Every structure is written in C-alpha cells, then in structure tokens.
Amino acid sequence: MTDSASRLAGPVRVVGAGLLGASVGLGLRARGVDVLLADASPAHLRLAADYGAGRPDDGGVEPALIVVAVPPDLVSRVVAEELAAHPAAVVTDVASVKGQPLAELQEAGVDLSRYVGSHPLAGRERGGPSAARADLFIGRPWVVAARPENARASVNLVEALILDLGATPVEMAADDHDAAVALVSHTPQIVSSLMAKRLAASTDAALGLAGQGVRDVTRIAGSEPELWVQILGANAPAIVSILRAYRDDLDRMLAALDDVDAVGARRTIAEEIAGGNVGVARLPGKHGQDKRFSSLVVMVDDRPGELARLLAELGELDVNLEDLRLEHSPGAAFGLAEIAVLPEVWQRTVDDLTDRGWRIAG
C-alpha cells in the first residue's frame, strides 16, 4: 500500500541508517520506492530494515540515486566512495554543512558532476533508526546546493526525492547555506546549551518555578554533543562571526545592568529587548508565508479530552488554527493553550469561545 505515486523510479540507495537516513527510507517506502540500505553498523542496518526503511543492499541492482546520511566528518569520504562505486548514479548528502565537504572533495580531485549536495532542515532531539519517521520532512525546507557543473537532470532527481518526501526544495549556494544555518540553527544550539548549563547547579525549588519561557529557550539543549562537535567545527567561521556580535550585545546589556541607575542604562536595556522584537517579527509564518497572526490564550482544564474539545470547537466555528503552543505548569489544574489565528478573526474567536464557556486568559 502506497500513499501516492512516486516521482522517483528507483532504486534509491541510502548510506547511513540513522535518524535522517532511515526517515528518508521510510518516506520513500511509503510511496513504493525500492530502498537499498547500507550502514557501517550491522545492528543499525538490521534495525532500520526491521522498521521498514528498506532492505539491506546486496549489490544485485544499481541505484539511480544515492543519499549519503553519515556523520559530518565522514561525508566527503563516503560521497567519493559512492561516486566511484556507482558510475551511473547521482549522489546527494544530507549533512548540515555544505562548504567543507565540497572543499574536501574538490581538493581530492573527485569528479563532482554527479554530486549535488543538499540539506533537509528537519530533525529530532533523539537519533538512530528507532527515532525515524516517514513524515519527518513534510513541510520542511530542503536546501539543494547545486553547482554550474551539475546537469539539470541530476538536480531534478534530487528535487524529486525532496518532493516525494513532502519537503520544499530551496536552491542555495553552499556558502550561502552555511551562513544561513549558522544563524538559524548552529548558533541557537550554542545559546540553548549554554543557557541550559546554568540550570544544572540550580536548586529544585528554583527549577520548580520554570515556565514555558525557559523551556522554549532550552528545548534543543538535549542534543548529542558528539554530533554537534562535528557540525560546529565544520562551520566555525560563520558561527564565530555571529557569536562575536552576540557577545557585543551581551556586553552592552551587562554594562547597563551593572549600574541600572546610570544615565542611559534603562534605555540600553529597552533597546536591546526591542531589537529582539524586530528580529522575531521577521520570522516567517506558517508554510513559510510572511503573515502575521494574532494570539489568544485559552485556559484548558486538566481533564481527558479537553484539548481535543477545544480544537473541535474551533473547527465548528470555522476558525483556522495557524499555530498552537501548550503550557502546563507543574501542579496546576489547567493548561494554557496559546492559539494563533488570522487578525481578522481574532475578536470573533474570542467572543465565540467565551460564549461556549471557555476562559480566555489573554
């Protein structure tokens, strides 16, 4: 049984059966694509196959497309090996840094006409084939770092893979990609981890007061250190540039807080916070659209089915839910559902939910 017809004729060879590789396999298998799995770990390979991500590659059939999903420090070597072993296949990779592997391959003199680097902006806090999901890439941007020497047919094949998995192809040069992910992915990981580190020595009483703010800031701090050492090391120059500017911002805030009664100190604090308002307002809305939404907070009693009832009633009221965030503080008898809707339906939504007995907190 398949979800719908695939754009790929297959077979597709996936090298690396971890989270991303196994998720690629699961997504393609759902469309009926023949997936050949390879992994240096026999246990990973068997587990990914048991989950249905594909079948171990026995070498009996040549792939049309190869997806390299190995740790960052192995990407260039494995890409070179796959290009040599499969002279008719297009090879892509899913590493989160594109410049370093490309430079290493070019330095080694590898013919890269059939190599099209790519990177899905998707993942989970957990890794390995057991964490893989067929829907991991749905609605996510997937960068294609095509180069002039790539034939259009090769790029089209990689884009067909991306579309089959429900993602959105975004063509971007390798250097531009690395600068972008340094800002929106790699530096946030560092900031989140360093903030979470401050929590380690705190008291249980203090941590018991934690609300959604600290949870939002530290959500990604549970990531794998070994993997991030490789990612950050491969993109260090772009990250360092952002961190230095961030350090300058921190220094200004520290100076103001050291003597909050000094002339201009409160203005500095206000301007730094306002600068954050400007930045967060630039983030695109749902589906990448640059729309602005209005939020309301609904109190949801801590009883089975209450959140489902709220969502069902929003549907009955013909209100499209643009985003939802749920906060449930420990010990509270209710949760707070922050709902984003289009500005033109905000007042009607508040009025209609109030009429139905829902408590609006903000």
pLDDT on residue 356: 93
pLDDT on residue 329: 60
pTM above 0.85, yes or no: no
- Placement of tokens 């090769």 in the chain: 154
Query: How many angstroms separate the CA atoms of 70 and 109, rounded?
Result: 21
CB atoms within 10 A of CB 143: 26
* Residue 170 φ then ψ, to 5°: -130, 110
Residue 2 has pLDDT above 60, yes or no: no
pLDDT on residue 311: 93
Terminal C-alpha separation, the chain: 46
- Mean pLDDT (the chain, rounded): 91
Closest CA to 323 of 345, 301, 341, 350: 341
Residue 209, both tokens: 């007061």
Sort residue 152 into left (φ over 0), alpha (ψ -120 to 50) or beta.
alpha
Q: In whole angstroms, what separates CA 196 from the centre of its chain?
A: 19
Counting Cβ atoms within 10 Å, is residue 146 exposed (0-12), middle (13-18) or buried (19+)? buried
DSSP class of 150: S
Angle, CA 225 vertex, CA 141 and CA 229 arms, to 5°: 75
DSSP secondary structure string for all residues of 105-138: HHHTT---TTB-EEEES---SS-SGGG--TTTTT
179-220 per-position pLDDT tens digit: 999 999 999 999 999 999 999 999 999 998 888 889 889 988
pLDDT on residue 330: 61
61-96 per-position pLDDT tens digit: 999 999 999 999 999 999 999 999 999 999 999 999
What's the 3-state SS for 197-216? HHHCCCCHHHHCCCCHHHHH
What are the structural domains of the chain? Answer: 12-172 (3.40.50.720), 178-281 (1.10.3660.10), 287-360 (3.30.70.260)
285-304 per-position pLDDT tens digit: 654 444 677 888 999 988 89
Cα–Cα distance list, 74 to 15, 62, 68, 69 (Å): 11, 23, 10, 9
Closest CA to 122 of 112, 132, 109: 132
Query: How many angstroms separate the CA atoms of 89 and 160, rounded?
Result: 14
At 300, which amino acid appears? Answer: V
90-121 per-position pLDDT tens digit: 999 999 999 999 999 999 999 999 999 999 99
Residue 13, both tokens: 């060879």
